[in-house]
Amino acid sequence: MDIFLQQLLNGLVLGSLYALVALGYTMVYGILELINFAHGEVVMIGAMVALTVLGVLAGTPLPPAAMLAIAAAVAIPACMATGFTIERVAYRPLRRAPRLAPLITAIGVSIVLQNVAMIVWGRQYVSFPPLIDVHIHEVAGATITNVQIAIVALAALIMAGLLLLVRRTRLGRAMRATAQNREVAELMGVDVNRVISATFVIGSALAAVAGMMVAAYYGLAHYAMGFMLGLKAFTAAVLGGIGNIPGAMLGGLLLGIIESLGAGYIGDLTGGFLGSHYQDIFAFLVLILVLVFRPSGLLGERIADRA
Amino acid sequence: MSALLPRRWRSDPRFAWAAFAALGVLLAALPFIVDAGMGRSWVRILAFALLYVMLALGLNIVVGFAGLLDLGYVAFYAVGAYVYALLASPHFGIHLPFWVLLPLGALLACTAGVVLGAPTLRLRGDYLAIVTLGFGEIVRIFLNNLNAPINLTNGPQGVNLIDPIRFGDTALHPAVDLFGVSLPATHAHYYLFLAFTLLTVFVALRLQRSRIGRAWVAIREDEIAAVAMGIDTRNVKLLAFAMGATFGGVGGGLFAAFQGFVSPESFTLMESIMILCMVVLGGMGHIPGVILGALLLTVLPELLRYVGPLQEAVLGRVAVDPSDLRMLLFGSALVVAMIFRPEGLWPSPQRARELSPDNPDETRQEQESLFDATR
Amino acid sequence: MNLARPLGLVLALVSAAATAADTVKIGCVAPLTGPQAHLGKDIENGARLAIDEINAARPTLAGKPVRFELVVEDDQADPRTATIVGQKLVDAGVKGVVGHLNSGASIPASKIYSDAGVPQMSPASTAILYTRQGFKTTYRVMANDAQQGKALGGAAVKIGKRVAVVDDRTAYGQGLADEVAKAVVAAGGEVVGREFTTDKSTDFTAILTSLKAKRPDVVVYGGMDPQAAPMVRQMRQLGIKAAFMGGDGMQSTEFIKLAGNVAEGVTGSSPGLPLEKMPGGGAFTQKFNARFGKIQIYAPFAYDAAQVLVAAMRKADSAEPARYLPELAKVSLDGVIGPIAFDAYGDLEDGPVTLYQVKGGQWVPVETVGGK
Residue ranges of domains in chain C, CATH in brackets: 4-143+276-341 (3.40.50.2300), 146-271+353-369 (3.40.50.2300)
Q: Which residue of B has its CA nearest to A293?
A: B119
pLDDT above 80: residue B61: yes
Confidence of residue B1 (pLDDT cuts 50, 70, 90): very low
Q: Which residue in C206, C225, C261 is closest to A10 by CB distance?
A: C206
Q: Tell whether A137 lies on the interface with C, counting CB pairs under 8 A.
A: no
**Structure-model confidence comparison of residues B103 and C33, the more confident one:** B103
Which residue from A280, A287, A306 is facing B130, i.e. has the nearest CB? A287
pLDDT for C145-201, tens place per residue? 999 999 999 999 999 999 999 999 988 899 999 999 999 999 999 999 999 999 889
Determine the pLDDT at residue C253. 87
Q: What is the pLDDT of residue B361?
A: 52
Residue B354's pLDDT is what?
A: 63
User: Position A119: which residue type?
Assistant: I
Nearest to residue A175, comparing CAs of A26, A49, A288? A26
Q: Which of A46-55, A61-70, C73-82, C321-330 has the lowest mean pLDDT?
A: C73-82
Residue A301 has pLDDT above 80, yes or no: no
**Beta-carbon separation of C261 and A130 below 8 A:** yes
Q: Which chains does A contact via 3+ CB–CB distances below 8 A? A: B, C
Confidence (pLDDT) at A303: 44
Q: What is the pLDDT of residues A59-111, one digit of tens each?
A: 888 998 999 999 999 999 999 999 999 999 999 999 888 778 888 899 999 99
- Output the pLDDT for position B356: 54
User: Which amino acid appears at position B132 of this protein?
Assistant: T
| pLDDT tens digits, one per residue of B125-134 | 778 888 899 9
- Interface subset of B 304-323, CB within 8 angstroms of C: 305, 308, 316, 321-323
Whether C261 has a pLDDT exceeding 80, the answer reads yes
Cis bond before residue C65 (omega within 30° of 0): no
Per-residue pLDDT of A252-265, as tens digits, reads: 999 999 999 999 88
CB < 8 Å to C111, chain B = 260-261
pLDDT (average), residues B23-35: 89
Q: What is the pLDDT of residues B206-264, one digit of tens each?
A: 999 999 999 998 988 888 888 898 888 889 999 999 999 999 999 999 999 998 889 89
Residue A39 has pLDDT above 50, yes or no: yes
Task: Work out the pLDDT band at A307, boundaries 50, 70, 90.
Answer: very low
Rounded to the nearest 5 percent, the helix, strand and coil shares of chain C are 45, 20, 30
Q: How many other β-carbons are positioned within 10 Å of the β-carbon of residue A187?
A: 9
Mean pLDDT over A5-34 rounds to: 93
Residues of chain B with C-beta less than 8 angstroms from the C-beta of C171: 156-158, 263, 265
Indicate the average pLDDT of chain B: 85
Whole-number pLDDT of residue A304 = 36
* CA–CA distance, A213 with A210 (Å, rounded to integer): 5
Residue A89 belongs to some domain of the structure:
yes
Inter-CA distances, A159 with A190, A235, A249, A300, Å: 25, 18, 8, 17
Q: Which of A12, A34, A92 is nearest to A243 (CA)?
A: A34
Bridge partners for C24 per DSSP: C68
Whether pLDDT at C3 is above 50: no
Question: Is the predicted pLDDT of residue C46 greater than 80, yes or no?
Answer: yes
- What is the C-alpha to C-alpha distance for residues A285 and A229, in angstroms, rounded to an integer? 16
* Tally of CB atoms within 10 A around A263: 30
Residue A4 forms part of a structural domain = no
Nearest to B259 among C90, C108, C169 (CB): C108
- The pLDDT value recorded for residue B310 is 78
Closest residue of chain B to A116, computed from CA coordinates? B328
Supply the range of the domain harboring residue A206: 15-225
Q: Is the pLDDT of residue C102 over 70?
A: yes
Can you give the residue ranges of every domain in chain B? Answer: 40-269
Does residue B313 register a pLDDT over 80? no
Query: Between chain B and chain C, how many beta carbons pairs sit less than 8 Å apart?
Result: 78
The region of weakest confidence among B263-267, C76-80, C279-283, C320-324 is: C76-80
Q: Does B369 score more than 80 pLDDT?
A: no
Domain for residue A269, yes or no?
no
Residue-level pLDDT at A217:
93
Question: Quick one: pLDDT band at residue C69, thresholds 50, 70, 90?
Answer: very high
B142 pLDDT above the threshold of 70: yes
* A298 part of a folded domain: no
Query: Does the pLDDT value for residue B362 go beyond 80?
Result: no
Percent of chain A scored above 70 by pLDDT? 97
Q: What tens digit of pLDDT does each residue of A184-225 get? A: 999 999 999 999 999 999 999 999 999 999 999 999 999 999
User: Among the listed ranges B57-66, B146-155, C107-116, which one has the minimum average pLDDT value?
Assistant: B146-155
- The ipTM is 0.90
Residue C371 has pLDDT above 80, yes or no: no
* pLDDT (mean) for C338-352: 92
Q: How many angstroms from the chain centroid is the CA of residue B302? A: 18
Q: Which residues contact C291 (CB under 8 A, 6 or more apart)?
A: C45, C49
* pLDDT band with cut points at 50, 70 and 90 for residue C212: very high
B311-to-B306, B307, B318, C292 alpha-carbon distances in Å: 9, 6, 5, 21
B136 pLDDT higher than 90: yes
Q: Is the pLDDT of residue C20 over 70?
A: no
Q: Which residues, 6+ apart, have CB-to-CB distance to A207 below 8 Å?
A: A21, A24, A39, A42, A43, A46, A79, A83
Average pLDDT over every residue of A276-292: 88
